[in-house]
Structure 1
Amino acid sequence: MSERMTGGCQCGRVRYSVQVDDDTAYLCHCRMCQRATGGVAAALKQVARDAVTWTREPDYHASSPIAERGFCAACGTPLTFRYLDGSTKLDLTVGSFDDPSRLRPTAHFGWESHHAAWLDTTDLPHLRSDEYQPLVDKWEKVRDA
């Protein structure tokens, strides 16, 4: 089912709208994605380049001789991955979508660098942000200021 989805960076400087045709996404475990996101994997949604409309283009970093990554220079949010060879596709970071709940991981890439202990964390203790009182206190303090 085709749907228009929106997203952007944490500070709101860079925003996009994209036509998404399905709910497939993937996890890239390659070392470059790990370094680019600061995580153990990058969650990515591949889309057609011409399906993306930017209110402001991201800044770009040539992360290798064959690819570049879009990000917000103001807040640092990673936004895209794309090859430099004129590919008609690009990848958007799942976390940059305003509501990524529609997207589902359907594949892994860069498996040679995966960290198995981080993939199935179902049995770890769960704590909601609003249940962690020190954090709640910090938000209440700035709200009341």
Structure 2
Amino acid sequence: MAEQVTGGCQCGRIRYRATIEDDEAYLCHCKMCKKATGGISIAFKNLRKADVAWEREPDRYASSPIAERGFCSACGTPLTFEFPDSETMDLTIGSFDAPDRFVPKHHYAVESMQGQWLDTRDLPRYRSEDNAPVVKRWMDKVGRLPD
């Protein structure tokens, strides 16, 4: 069943509304995505370009001879991966207003996967509100913790 969801960049300059059919997503481990995000992988939702309406178009970078990436030039948030000649595109899961709903269904570019980062369930866990120096910085600057 089709549903409308929203998202955008960290600073709010670029916003979108997308129609999705399901909550399926995937993790890309290719070297280009690693470089583009500074991460060890990136989570994407694939959907039709026609199902995404931009309040303001993202800036775009031709990241290779065959693809481009949408991003916000003000805050740097990665937003899309697109082949210009395709009817589909990928939106970054982290850019959705409610990213918790999405479920990874597969890995892509596993030849570049860094397996040591996949299963981290036995590592110690810390809550951000328990980091007193960071909490103090937020409280001193804005009087509250971020959402």
TM-score, normalising length: structure 1 = 0.96
Displacement, 1:131?
1.1
Matched length? 143
Q: Deviations over 1:94-119 (max 9, x none)?
A: 00001111100000001000000101
* Partner residue, 2:65: 65
Q: 2:24 aligns to what?
A: 24
The alpha carbon displacement at 1:143 in A equals 2.4
Match of 1:78 in 2: 78
Name 1:52's counterpart in structure 2. 52
Q: d(CA) in 1 for partners of 2:97 and 2:131?
A: 24
State the alpha-carbon separation in 2 of the partners of residues 51 and 14 from structure 1. Answer: 16
Match in the other structure for 1:129:
128
Counterparts of 1:128 and 1:17, CA distance in 2:
31
What is the distance in 1 between the residues matched to 2:104 and 2:134? 30
Q: Distance in 2 between matches of 1:69 and 1:112?
A: 22
Give the Cα separation in 1 of the matches to 2:97 and 2:104.
17
**Partner of 1:111 in structure 2?**
110
Kindly indicate which of the two structures has a greater share of residues assigned to strand.
1
Q: CA deviation at 1:2?
A: 2.0
- Residue 58 of structure 1 aligns to which amino acid in structure 2? P
Write the distance in 1 (CA, Å) between the matches of 2:64 and 2:5: 29
Runs of 4 or more consecutive aligned structure 1 residues displaced over 4 Å after TM superposition: none
